[in-house]
Structure 1
């Protein structure tokens, strides 16, 4: 009669193998949360730029007789730049800066400067400033900027 049991050597080998696999896999998952947040912010920025470009496209095609976004009046000079074809007023207040461009565009910390540019934090959801700042990737000390004359929504790296 044979006994099918593991020897001590086999058990130690399996434990070492699991340890090596864990040592390789764990570092791969460490930065995933920040990478996911950065990707989310870049995706939202791309959506904002797409909405602005769509509004501009409507302006070009329809020569100013249209409704852009959520109730942006292209005939109101306080809301729309009729010379360049880009929305000026992205929101109705400082607490809802993007509600006229995006369906659920409420975010905090956005201001409209005297120069007409909207500026807001690039990372209000917890992405910390990296030890090595990666250009084009938002972190805690960067901000988004919208120029209503050119229609450019971009990341400003600090």
Structure 2
């Protein structure tokens, strides 16, 4: 009787089918995970920006001034660093602007955060100090709740 140490064709086909089924189940979950990560990053950025606006306003109140920061950015490559014209800073290191998914872009007072192919617009109101999302789409709600 001869013993073979190789796999038969049926065994190889069975393994390929099982791997195909696992890949078909796992791939959509990985795509959703990327979007969830971009939403989480955006939520953290929005919370940081809003907190910095309030902190900067409190600094101005201590100095006796009753105004919000006039601009969130003076530069289009590094956003949310503050207004260099009035020497008022917001985020010490800012957020690097980009055009891809998971990045911020724009100029004061209009900014955009991109999730996948969807751009979510934000506006800064220098009179009220509010940094708000301007649309009623699903991502807007997820970024600001």
The 1:97/1:4 distance shift into structure 2, 3 A limit, reads closer
Distance across 1 between alignment mates of 2:116 and 2:11: 44
Q: Encode CA deviations 1:13-44: one digit per residue, 9 max, x unaligned.
A: 21211111111111222344444334323321
The 1:22/1:87 distance shift into structure 2, 3 A limit, reads same
Cα offset for 1:103?
2.1
Match in the other structure for 2:43: 42
Unaligned runs of 5+ in 2: 83-89, 98-104, 137-145
What's the TM-score once normalised by structure 2's chain length? Answer: 0.61
The 1:92/1:20 distance shift into structure 2, 3 A limit, reads closer
The answer on whether the counterparts of 1:38 and 1:127 sit within 8 Å (CA) in structure 2 is no
Unaligned runs of 5+ in 1: 66-73, 76-81, 112-117, 130-139
The answer on whether the counterparts of 1:95 and 1:110 sit within 8 Å (CA) in structure 2 is no
Match in the other structure for 2:62: 64
Coordinate RMSD, CA, aligned: 3.1
Listed as ranges, the matches of 1:2-17 within 5 Å are 3-17=4-18
Distance across 1 between alignment mates of 2:40 and 2:111: 17
Aligned length: 120
The answer on whether the counterparts of 1:90 and 1:98 sit within 8 Å (CA) in structure 2 is yes
Distance across 1 between alignment mates of 2:116 and 2:124: 21
The structure with more strand, counted as a fraction of residues:
2
Q: Does 2:106 align with 1:109?
A: yes
Cα offset for 1:97?
5.5
The structure with more helix, counted as a fraction of residues:
2
Distance across 2 between alignment mates of 1:38 and 1:143: 14
Cα offset for 1:49?
0.5
The 1:127/1:21 distance shift into structure 2, 3 A limit, reads closer
